[in-house]
Amino acid sequence: MKHPIIGIDLGTTNSEVAVVQGGRAQILDVDGAKLLPSVVGLDDEGALLVGQSARNQYTLFPERTIRSVKRRMGEDAHLPMGDQSYRPQEISALILKRLKSAAEQHLGQPVEKAVITVPAYFSDAQRQATRDAGELAGLEVVRIINEPTAAALAYEADHQGARTILVYDLGGGTFDVSVVRMTGDVTEVLSSHGNNQLGGDDFDARLIEHVLAHLRETQDVDARENHGALARIQRAAEAAKITLSDAPYARIDEEYLLEHQGRPLNLSMEIERGEYEDMIAEFIDETLEAVHIALKDAGLSVADLDEVLLVGGATRTPLIQRRLEEVLGMPPRAEVNPDLCVAAGAAIQAAVIGGDQVASVLVDVTPYTFGTSALGELDGMPYPHVFVPVIRKNTPLPTTKSEAFQTIVDGQSQIDVHVYQGEDADALNNTEIGAFRIEGLGDVPAGNVIVMTYALDVNGILEVTAREKRTGLEKAITINNATARFEADELDAARTRLSALIDGEAEVVVDGAAAAPIDPEISERREVVQARALAEKAERLMSTATAEDKEDLVNLIESVKDALSDNDIPALERTVTELSDLVYYLES
Ligand code: AMP
């Protein structure tokens, strides 16, 4: 490489360095990892620590450790560290220096130039301080670019036509949302809004409070006073938060957390995803308000957006993705690793400045959604084959996701698990790629929790495990070639298979963990299943209906049942429509 220009994301929590090689952006390892914690410190002997080692000592020795220096850039501040104090630019320069030498090691040659990203809201003084930090680190900063612009470049390096993109960036300690317009070679930030005191660290703080309250209530202990214990709780809280992005429960187990009344105290608790989501809901609401403000400032509405991109580690939180999809009406894109896409975009910009050809960032993602089926509601009616996605389309690979389900009858001893690939809300319209039965479940009341785990690797091998949470009893299957794309004739074959299934020629067993007892009777098409469910629902309404409505209900339920027993599909459709109208009326 002639004169490599590196791309740097100098972040509040973590920093990354990337370079374009062979036309593609590559994130480089620094100390064996892609993310370098943006933390600088001095050890016991006064030696410099940058990155993970500095981060590790932060809670114990805050007086000789500096983190989140990005928040102070552009201020005339003197930050104490050990016996001395340092300007924000100097501390940032130490981080940049570490990134520079990692790049030099990787490329085997000196690096003197960089593109560095900054938040769109950074003032001139903050941008200048960033340039100065670069120079102190021995880097000529050939360009400062906005983080949302870099993210858009990472997704759309080879874009065509004009696009309006919303970039939602939630990192460890900062949040911002920007509306970016890409037209040909010009990328422009139309508006940007946010809160530079909001991020994943606030989610950790809520979990820490929750753990401390648990210790107070169950052990009558205030762990706040004990620095060592607090540091362990902090670390465990962040780990639990990350687990809850992929699983419905997270355990926190810390042995000998502290000594209390002369005895060692162990911390052992479980946090449920729903409980955690309630803790952080207000933060998410605040970010969604910012989304609307940014759109308003850009003079646009939701309908003008072509794409929503996620940036920042905290956007892996499923609640964020769900709420954004609800509000914006399209699934946000997160295929380019949200921690790394700003650095990748900076490297792409650097390559363009250096006159190199670049393609967009290539990532392995699943082209399909995978999930199971369970009893739920479809079109407002109870339906036993509702598709429950577990791994969603475009998730980067490898990935492991789990979801919790519950049995619905007392003493349910077995469950048939069906594994589907597809996007339809009705599982029967998707392709079934595997099935298995888990038997020997405990003789307990309905509500027995079964955790389903889907692990999909880059080779398309999908392993599905069903596990009884109480006992750990589990059963798994492995499905090869889960992500193999259908060829045209395979697609036809699949369609035929599906229509056979829908026409009731193939046996369909009531599915899924949430599903009912295995009932071999139910092997008909969707209309039949729905009609039965509707008739049952109508029967339940009888007790509260007026005499007149009751008579109508009885007549219509009878007509539906007659149509069912005569297998008269046109009559069934007609009577189901009438009955569902009446049920709708009675329920509203
Ligand atoms: P960033 O500043 O973009 O590196 O983001 C760092 C923040 O993302 C920290 O608060 C991390 O704890 C958080 N984070 C990283 N991975 C996940 C995850 N899988 N789920 C939720 N938060 C995460």
Neighbouring CB atoms inside 10 A of 223's CB total 23
Select from 17, 169, 242 the residue to mutate for testing ligand 1; criterion: most ligand atoms less than 8 Å from CB.
242
Q: Based on C-alpha coordinates, what's the Rg of the chain?
A: 28
What does the pLDDT look like over 205-248, one tens digit per residue?
999 999 999 999 999 999 998 888 998 999 999 999 999 999 99
Between 517 and 59, where is the model more confident? 59
Contact 27, 364 (CB under 8 A): no
**Tokens at 361, concatenated:** 């960032």
What sections of 73-179 are H helices per DSSP?
88-107, 124-136, 147-156
pLDDT at 515: 33
CATH code of 5-198+285-353, in short, is 3.30.420.40
Which of the four pLDDT bands, split at 50, 70 and 90, describes residue 506?
Answer: very low
Residues 6+ apart with CB under 8 A from 488: none
Contact 16, 10 (CB under 8 A): no
CB of residue 385 inside a 6 A radius of ligand 1: no
d(CA 232, CA 208): 10
Amino acid at 109: Q
Residues 6+ apart with CB under 8 A from 432: 418, 419, 420, 501
Which of the four pLDDT bands, split at 50, 70 and 90, describes residue 516?
Answer: very low
Backbone angles phi, psi at 18, to 5 degrees: -140, 160
Please give the average per-residue pLDDT across 507-527, as a whole number.
Answer: 38
pLDDT at 118: 93
What is the domain partition of the chain in residue ranges?
5-198+285-353, 370-514, 526-587
What does the pLDDT look like over 323-343, one tens digit per residue?
999 999 999 998 888 999 999
CATH architecture of 370-514: Sandwich (2.60)
Q: How far is the CA of 356 from the centre of ligand 1 (A)?
A: 32
CB of residue 37 inside a 6 A radius of ligand 1: no
CB of residue 241 inside a 6 A radius of ligand 1: yes
Q: How far is the CA of 464 from the centre of ligand 1 (A)?
A: 26
Q: Is 63 a catalytic residue?
A: no
Distances (CA, A) of 492 to 430, 496, 501, 506: 13, 6, 14, 17
Please give the average per-residue pLDDT across 394-419, as a whole number.
Answer: 90
Nearest CA to ligand 1 atom 23: 314
Q: Is 70 a catalytic residue?
A: yes
d(CA 308, CA 325): 9
CB of residue 117 inside a 6 A radius of ligand 1: no
Q: Is 364 a catalytic residue?
A: no
Asked whether the predicted pLDDT for residue 267 surpasses 90, the reply is: yes
- What is the sign of the dihedral through the CA atoms of 27, 33, 36 and 41? negative
H/E/C letters for each residue in 202-228?
A: HHHHHHHHHHHHHHHHHHCCCHHHCHH
Q: How far is the CA of 217 from the centre of ligand 1 (A)?
A: 29
Pairing of strands 140-146, 370-378: unpaired
Longest C-alpha distance within the chain, in Å? 90
Q: Is 296 a catalytic residue?
A: no
**Tokens at 558, concatenated:** 């009878």
Catalytic residue among 16, 90, 132, 169: 169
Q: Which of 432, 337, 328 lies closest to 394 in space, CA to CA?
A: 337
d(CA 53, CA 494): 54
